[in-house]
Amino acid sequence: MAKDQLNVLKALDVAKTQWYHFTAIVIAGMGFFTDSYDLFCISLVTKLLGRIYFYEEGSNKPGSLPSNVAAAINGVALCGTLAGQLFFGWLGDKMGRKRVYGITLMLMVICSIASGLSFSKDPKAVVITLCFFRFWLGFGIGGDYPLSATIMSEYANKKTRGAFIAAVFAMQGFGILAGGMVAIIVSSVFSAYYPAPPFSVDPVLSTIPQADYVWRIILMFGALPALLTFYSRMKMPETARYTALVAKNAKQAAEDMSKVLQVEIVAEQEKIQELEKRRGNDFGLFTTQFFRRHGLHLLGTATTWFLLDIAYYSQNLFQKDIFSAIGWIPAAKTMSALEELFKIARAQTLIALCSTVPGYWFTVALIDRMGRFKIQLMGFFFMTVFMFGLAIPYHHWTLMGNQIFFVVLYSFTFFFANFGPNATTFIVPAEIFPARLRSTCHGISAAAGKAGAIVGAFGFVYAQSTIGVRYSLIILGVINFFGMMFTFLVPEPNGKSLEEMSGEAEEETTATTESALEAGLDVRT
């Protein structure tokens, strides 16, 4: 009930957009910048790793990672991310958002640096070291998902909450863009200082010894943006919704938000104690009451995220293979190792610049006008259409002169993923569940997404080699269609307070009625 809502929460809901909103977006967003940089930069260097460590002397083609090694290197961080989302999501509801926030960031910094190191130059040692540290890097990244989304949703006002959470997530696009740009710069610098012939001219000299530093520098760069925001994260106060509704400390919540909002907010500890006495708003995750109120919502958020990430991560992690298959990137033997890295990075940067980044910011601009449901449904619909548009006439796109049209359609699938379900699946779970379970439920939804990403990362390798790119794209189109269908399970949070959406206001009303009935009072209106 609105009259039962604490003053501090009302103040947050109606607050005008202020400097602290933008500060929170930057602090939380830099985490996502780092997340996407670390997750997707690996796809840039896998071909380079193959040339350095898996070239067979006398072979007529450059070295490449065995399919099982490629799948492990691409997918191990996603496995860590899934585990981190579940663990830190739960921990964020138990210990508080802020206390856990710094742990995830330091884990990302340490493991970004460590993933660029190895105990020797033996291929097996390099792969094992890389996979070990990328798993724990993913574990830290996983924690950033539920915590960043929950913190931003609990800080934001009711009117522009969608745009603020979307802006945090949009930093993922800049992370992907930065990965490509760093790879372009590093490969260009090394190529200028250490020129090398194409593989077809000299198989050995085409991969210079210094190339071993290139992939390490690219991976280790991911530690820098995370490190720059560590101090700011530690200075952020705990969210008022956690402090008041979960920790039951209205005085601390009022003090923290008075400083942030720069207004005087009266603490209402008596109201907290009154709400605490009421029954009905303390159910746990594994209860009939949760299943009745939020079971379908959780199924909807988890399933749509799962289906989206199968398609999205397949496209992102293996776009270099798709571009090679259609002939947009030249044959590997016609290039040196660093030239191949440069051209892969240039292609990924072009896709990010023209479709991925604009898609995110279209969502930021329009989500509070169109609503989450329409954007997600529209995104899945157009992803389905464009994926079938790529797959059905696939042979036509591989013909000389047609590749550019393939790239344009392929770019549209990225645009509508980001101006669509890739953003909304992140936003909605942070808005529709109760405060005491918000981080946990977001973590579960995000983990379902990473399960889809793992299916995409491991499955696309084998699908591409067994049934070919065309049928792989058809499967991704079908998956996008099912994502559109499951969107109907997800409610629309646009314009509503978190307490309205989560049902916490309704729980209070129900609990008050039950208490009155038990006392023998007339509750008729």
The rounded distance, in Å, linking the Cα atoms of 213 and 411 is 31
For tokens 């329409």, the residue is: 374
pLDDT of residue 58: 81
pLDDT tens by residue, 122-161: 899 999 999 999 999 999 999 999 999 999 998 888 888 9
pLDDT of residue 240: 84
111's enclosing H/E stretch is helix 97-115
CB neighbour class for 395 (10 Å; exposed up to 12, middle 13-18, buried from 19): exposed
pLDDT of residue 247: 82
The rounded distance, in Å, linking the Cα atoms of 115 and 81 is 15
The rounded distance, in Å, linking the Cα atoms of 372 and 424 is 6
pLDDT of residue 167: 93
CA angle 137–73–58, rounded 5-degree value: 145
Thinking of the domain 7-266+285-509, which architecture would CATH place it in? Up-down Bundle (1.20)
Neighbours of 520 (CB within 10 A): 6
pLDDT of residue 49: 94
Question: DSSP alpha helices (H): ranges in 194-249?
Answer: 211-220, 223-228, 230-235, 240-241
pLDDT of residue 278: 57
In 3D space, the residue among 147, 73, 156 whose CA is nearest the CA of residue 103 turns out to be: 147
Scored b (16 or more CB within 10 A) or e, 310-336 reads bbbbbbbbbbbbbbbbbebbeebeebb
And the tokens for 309? 């990430």
pLDDT of residue 19: 83
CB 412 within 8 A of CB 358: no
The rounded distance, in Å, linking the Cα atoms of 260 and 65 is 51
Single-letter amino acid code for the residue at 21: H
And the tokens for 493? 């949070």
pLDDT mean by block of 10 residues, the chain; 525 residues? 65 81 87 88 90 88 88 87 95 90 90 88 91 94 92 88 93 91 96 93 92 94 88 85 83 81 71 60 81 93 96 72 68 90 89 86 94 96 92 81 79 89 95 92 96 84 75 89 96 89 62 43 39
- Residue 494 in 3-state DSSP? coil
The rounded distance, in Å, linking the Cα atoms of 173 and 108 is 18
Neighbours of 239 (CB within 10 A): 27
CB 381 within 8 A of CB 484: yes
pLDDT tens by residue, 301-351: 999 999 999 988 877 666 666 666 666 678 888 999 999 999 989 988 888
For tokens 């981190």, the residue is: 84
